[in-house]
């Protein structure tokens, strides 16, 4: 029996298998609900659910298993508290040199660009934020994303492509507002 399957239902095993993924769980919840306090509550609820059903965990990828629980908990929260966040859809007609020590200007530009990226990601509908977070921030494979979201891999790929286009458009609009140039 593989190491990650042995004793899945034993007391104390939960901490070894699931607790290391706390940062990924919070990161996903934070990006889905866009509120730090709500994300903390969601992660707490998701961990309680995971603990409750841990005896049924058959092994495998514990991170993907936990992220699926966090996803479901986040969507349940949004349905109950902010259903309009889930109603927003993508409308194509509407949304169509390294150095060892960067200088102060480079650090400032990077900081501004990071903030612009965070702001643009915040503007995306929850379904697009979700797929971007899984792939770009959490590094999940298409197969893992498909398992967590319970959709075909082709759906993951098309959603990710549309999310990236939408993110790029948001960034370009932000750049235009700031008067910055160079993003192509």
State the CATH number of the domain containing residue 131: 1.10.10.10
51 and 136, same domain (yes or no): no
The yes-or-no verdict on residue 87 having pLDDT over 80 is no
Nearest to 52 by CA among 18, 22, 6, 25: 18
Q: How confident is the model at residue 162 (pLDDT cuts 50, 70, 90)?
A: very high
What distance in Å separates the CA atoms of residue 42 and residue 85, rounded to the nearest whole number?
A: 16
The pLDDT-based confidence of 68 (bands split at 50, 70, 90) is: very high
Residues 111 and 166 in one domain: yes
Counting the structural domains of the chain, the total is 2
**What is the model's pTM?**
0.62
Residues 126 and 163 in one domain: yes
Q: Which of 67, 87, 107 is the last residue of a domain?
A: 87
Distance CA 182, CA 24 (A): 32
Q: Are 146 and 177 in a shared domain?
A: yes
64 shares its domain with 117: no
Asked if residue 172 lies in contact with residue 95, where contact means CB atoms within 8 angstroms, the answer is no
| Residue 83 and residue 99 share a domain | no
Q: Are residues 63 and 122 in the same domain?
A: no
Q: Which residue has the higher pLDDT, 94 or 143?
A: 143
Cα–Cα distance measured from residue 12 to residue 16, given in angstroms and rounded to the nearest whole number: 7
Q: The domain containing residue 31 runs over which residues?
A: 7-87
Q: Buried b / exposed e across 103-131, counting CB within 10 Å, b at 16+?
A: eeeeeeeeeebeebeeebbebbbbbbbbb
| Residue 1 in domain | no
Mean pLDDT across the stretch 149-153? 91
Class of residue 62 by CB neighbours under 10 A (exposed 0-12, middle 13-18, buried 19+): buried
Residue ending a domain, choose from 35, 59, 87:
87
Which pLDDT belongs to residue 99? 43
Among 42, 72, 87, the domain-final residue is 87
């Amino acid at each position: 029996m593989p190491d990650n399957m042995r004793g899945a239902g034993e007391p104390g095993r939960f901490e070894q298998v699931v607790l290391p993924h706390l940062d990924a769980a919070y990161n996903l919840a934070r990006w889905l609900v866009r509120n730090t306090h709500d994300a903390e509550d969601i992660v707490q609820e998701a961990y309680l659910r995971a603990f409750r059903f841990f005896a049924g965990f058959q092994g495998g990828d514990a991170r993907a298993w936990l992220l699926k629980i966090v996803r479901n908990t986040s969507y349940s929260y949004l349905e109950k508290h902010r259903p309009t966040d889930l109603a927003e859809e993508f409308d194509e007609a509407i949304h169509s040199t390294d150095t060892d020590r960067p200088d102060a200007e480079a650090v400032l530009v990077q900081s501004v660009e990071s903030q612009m990226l965070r702001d643009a990601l915040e503007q995306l509908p929850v379904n697009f934020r979700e797929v971007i977070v899984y792939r770009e921030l959490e590094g999940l494979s298409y197969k893992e994303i498909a398992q967590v979201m319970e959709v075909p891999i082709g759906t993951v790929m098309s959603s990710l492509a549309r999310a990236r286009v939408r993110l790029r458009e948001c960034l370009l609009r932000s750049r235009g507002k700031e008067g910055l140039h160079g993003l192509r």
